[in-house]
Structure 1
Amino acid sequence: MISVNLPAIDGSAVITEIMERSVRLFGKNGISEYDVVKALQTAGLKPEDIEKIAKGMSNQSIVVVLKSKLSLNELLKGNGTLTVGSKIFEVSPLSRKKIMLKIHWLPVYFATAKLGEIFKHFGKVFRVTDEHFTYNGYEIATGVRRVLMEVEAEKIEHIPHLLNFKCGARALVTMYGRPPCACGAIPSGTSGGNARDSSPSPKKRMLSRKIQQMRRQLGKWRSQQHLQLNRQRLGQCSRGSEGRNLRHLRLNRQYKELCSRKCRRKYNRRCSRQHLRLSRQHRELCSRWSHRKD
């Protein structure tokens, strides 16, 4: 799969007029295009008031673009929900988004309702509750608080990751789909037992910088060593090739000498044979000549 990383969709890539006429319908058990049309009809809208229906990556939400802002205002006059049979759909404008925040590390004596006053500056707070778990039919609070609020899509990035109190207490804010800490707010230990004390002190920062410098120097030294070893290997290879060439020449000379010796031996043998033959012929002629004289 080939993926391309692009900048955020903003500026000229956003048609604000369409965003102002769009709503999002959310169904916990799933939602289809037919459910959307039926739900809008229960709110007094007609199919001809709908310009576009688009599904996203989740089957729980659908975005609807209406043809006019009047239709949008009529739809938002209700309590924010539409019912079709046994299905209940939550309605929210596309320019605004409902989010659920989880607040960790707060002291057990902290008033949960105070979170509404803190987060009302970022959007509309619907409810603030405690998180519970069930044990043998009994609900027990965990100490984690939940904040359900509606925020403008452009302001989601401004929701804090940490809440720092003057008394020294701190609280971690998490949101579904967002990492617990952005831009290295907490380098490690965000979910462990030592998460509170995980922010680096000046000494730790200095130590980490020294470690990084040592790693860089070690990397440079290793690269220099690697280059030196490569040069040595190349030199050994070149020397080895020269030695091989000299051996080859020496062997060639020895072979030629052997060949010449063999040829000389063969020539000497031939000459000796011819000499013997001629000497025999000479003797025979001499003997014949002597017999004729007699």
Structure 2
Amino acid sequence: MDIIVDCPPLVTGVFDDDVLKRTLKLQNVSAYGSVTMNDAVECLQMLEIPPNAVELFSRGQGDKEVSIVFNSPSFLNQVNTVEPLVVRQKRILLLKGNSQIVNVRVHWLPVFIPNPTVEAIFRPFGKVLTVEYDRMKVGSGTFKSGVRLVKMEVTEIERNKLPHLLRFECGNKALITVAGRPPLCLKCLQIGHYRSNCANTPKVQSDIYSKIEKSISDRNQQEQRRKTEEELKLIEEERRKDVEETKKKKESMDDKNDDGDDVVDDDDDDDTVMEESIDESRGTKRTQDQEVCVFSFMRLWDQIFFLLTFPF
């Protein structure tokens, strides 16, 4: 059994226009409190509408709304929807049909954007009532913040069409939040969770990362190809030098063979001189080693003699 079943949106074509023409919605616009059935009855008394004129009462999804359907549209025409009613210190706004009042918070807007421009931005999404700065308390003072508060009168369909993010051609962005609406994740740009709880990888960032990885891989391949080409050039150069040296040696050997016995005798004399030089260097090294050994023995003897003669 499915706990939640997704249904198509409720568009205007499926509404009962006759019921909408006879519906009055009571909405609490105060910061606290709900709208009870007793509040709805008291509002009818203030409007001088008899109880027998009401066909039904209906609560909304939240506790701040109550809908009243009258028997005739004539009773709805008697209602002034401009000024809210004050019932038990609660400001209750009267709305005809399926309209509702929403408070839209606009974040990240530059401070040099005036409120009339903000009103023009939100006018296509519904009726803009007021635009003002939000206020915050810092220390002992209260100041305006950069957040704009846009109060709008919209239908449920218009409320669902309110965007979550505005993007301007200059590069600036504006985040839009509405109380009771699922939030926008600023990491994956999907609806229903916050960035701190996001388990998704944003497609934009993944595309960027893949491009960066591809660029690094291409650069490494080019560098490896360049090193390989340089190594091949060095190997080829060394091989060429070896061939030239081998050729020169062969030519030199041929010249020596052509010179005859004189060259051979000269080579023998050179070998004899070299052997005598080697023997002489070996004898010199042996003599130096003997001198170092005698010097070390004499130092050791001096230390032993000092220990034996020192008066403890």
Verify same fold: TM over 0.5: yes
User: Is the contact made by 2:57 and 2:68 (CA closer than 8 Å) also made in structure 1?
Assistant: yes
Q: CA deviation at 1:14?
A: 3.9
> Separation in 1 of the partners of 2:115 and 2:203?
25
1:3 maps onto 2:6 in alignment: no
Matched residue, 1:69:
73
Amino acid at match of 1:49: A
1:167 matched residue in structure 2: 170
Change in Cα spacing, 1:138 to 1:119, as seen in structure 2 (3 Å) is same
How far off its partner does 1:13 sit? Answer: 6.0
Sequence identity percentage? 25
Return the alpha-carbon distance in structure 1 between the equivalents of residues 91 and 148 of structure 2.
25
C-alpha distance 55-203 of structure 1, shift in aligned 2 (>3 A): closer
Choose from 148, 156, 160 the match for 2:159.
156
Q: CA RMSD in A?
A: 3.4
1:223 aligned partner: none
- 8 Å Cα contact 1:24-1:62 kept in structure 2: yes
CA–CA distance in structure 1, aligned partners of residues 6 and 149 of structure 2: 33
The within-5 A match list for 1:118-267 is 118-181=121-184, 186=189, 200=204, 203-204=207-208, 206=210
Q: Distance in 2 between matches of 1:109 and 1:122?
A: 23
TM-score (norm 1): 0.59
Are the aligned partners of 2:25 and 2:98 in contact in 1 as well (CA < 8 Å)?
A: no
Check whether the contact 1:23–1:94 (CA below 8 A) recurs between aligned residues: yes
Deviations 1:12-43 (A, max 9, x none): 86433213321221234223222212211211
Post-superposition shift, 1:185? 7.2
SS across alignment from 2:82 = coil
Residues 53 and 205 of structure 1: CA distance in aligned 2, closer, same or farther (over 3 Å) = farther
Q: Distance in 2 between matches of 1:70 and 1:168?
A: 51
What is the CA deviation profile of residues 182-213 of structure 1, one whole-angstrom value per residue up to 9, with x for unaligned ones? 8x972599768xxxxx88258337579x9xxx
Does structure 1 conserve the Cα–Cα contact (< 8 Å) formed by 2:108 and 2:173?
yes
Counterpart in the other structure of 2:95: 92
Query: CA-to-partner distance for each residue in 1:132-179, whole Å, 9 max, x for gaps?
Result: 211233112231111100112222232222222221111111212223
Q: Does 1:107 align with 2:110?
A: yes
Partner of 2:39: 35
Task: Measure how far apart 1:62 and its partner are.
Answer: 1.2
Change (3 A) 1:44 1:25: same
Structure 1: any 5+ residue segments left out of the alignment? 193-197, 211-294
CA distance in 2, matches of 1:190, 1:111: 29
Match of 2:22 in 1: 21
1:253 corresponds to: none
Query: Residues 25 and 205 (structure 1 numbering): CA distance in 2 closer, same or farther, change over 3 Å?
Result: farther
- Pair 1:44 & 2:45 matched: no
Alpha-carbon distance between aligned partners in 2 of 1:3 and 1:94, rounded to the nearest angstrom = 31
Task: State how far apart, in whole Å, the 1-side matches of 2:114 and 2:203 are.
Answer: 26
Q: Which runs of 5+ in 2 are unaligned?
A: 197-201, 215-312
Aligned partners of 1:190 and 1:199: how far apart in 2?
A: 17
Asked whether 1:60 is paired with 2:64, we answer yes
SS at match of 1:156: helix
Q: d(CA) in 2 for partners of 1:170 and 1:135?
A: 26
TM-score by length of 2: 0.56
CA 1:46–1:179 in structure 2 vs 1: closer, same or farther (change >3 Å)? same
Matched positions, count: 203
What is the alpha-carbon distance in structure 1 between the residues aligned to residue 89 and residue 194 of structure 2? 41
